[in-house]
Structures are given as C-alpha cells and as structure tokens.
Structure 1
Amino acid sequence: MSTFYEGMAEIFEVEPAAITPEFDLTTAEAQWDSLALVSTIALVDDCYNVMLDGTALAACRTIGDIEALVRQAKG
C-alpha cells in the first residue's frame, strides 16, 4: 500500500512517514473535508481499481478504516 500511503500524504500535505494505519483523519492536521474525500476516492480508484462509496468513506476515522473499506469493496 505504499503508493496509496504516498498519495494520502500528498492529500493531507504531510510527510509520507506520517501516514500509518493509525493516522487520525479527525485531527486538524488531517483536514478530512470534501476535497480530501473526493481526492481519496480518485486515489483508491487509481491504486486499487475500486470505487468507494462517499458516505462510507466519510465515516472513516483512520487510514486503517479506509484500508478496511477497500478490502471490503474488493470482496
């Protein structure tokens, strides 16, 4: 998932090393807003060829939650 982590680091404008499964999307640093949601949907589509539901994605609180959502969507 390194390409995914690098993309998430770009979205949140943090160092790639900061992106871990425990990275908290609810912090001020994360700025988990509508732009980040749309960017994440596009990133997941590019990395995994999976289209995530925006409502389910918005409910995610950590990078690990997003990874679990991707695994679920892939079946």
Structure 2
Amino acid sequence: MSAFYAGLAEIFEIDTAEITPNLELAAYNWDSLAVVSTIALIDEVYGELVDGAALGKCVVVSDIQALIPAAQAA
C-alpha cells in the first residue's frame, strides 16, 4: 500500500503522510487528470485496470482501494 499512497501523494502534490483511507479526494483536485493518473498508478502498482467512471465517483481514498480487489477478481 505504501507505493500506492506515495503515488497518490504525487498526484495530489501533498506529503505521503497526509494520505489516509478517509482523505477526501475533492479537497485535492479530484478531476479527470487525477482520475487518469490514478488509473495509471493502479496499473503500475497492482497490474490491474479499474473503470474510469467508477473511479471518478470515488469520494475518499478507501473508495479507490475498494475498486482494486474488484478489478483483480474480474
């Protein structure tokens, strides 16, 4: 999870320590560029592709994390 959190911190341009499961994405420019960057991050870290529309509906980091096992199961 640390590589994933480090990647999110880079996308949001914040310190890795600030990334928590309850971090609200809207507070950190959760826009289409961030969604595309997060898709690439998940692919890089986990080797899985997640649905962009589902990812765009995420509200907190734990919502993103919940999509990863679903992608792995598919």
CA deviation profile, 1:12-69 (whole Å, cap 9, x unmatched):
0000000010110122xx1001110110000000000000111000010011000001
Structure number having the greater helix percentage: 2
TM-score (norm 2): 0.95
* Other-structure match for 2:8: 8
Please show how residues 39-54 of structure 1 align to structure 2 within 5 Å. Answer: 39-54=37-52
Identity %: 52
Structure 2: runs of 5+ lacking an equivalent:
none
Structure-2 separation of matches of 1:36 and 1:20: 17
Aligned structure 1 segments of 4 or more residues deviating by more than 2 angstroms: none
Query: What's the Cα RMSD here?
Result: 0.6
TM-score (norm 1): 0.94
Structure 1: runs of 5+ lacking an equivalent:
none
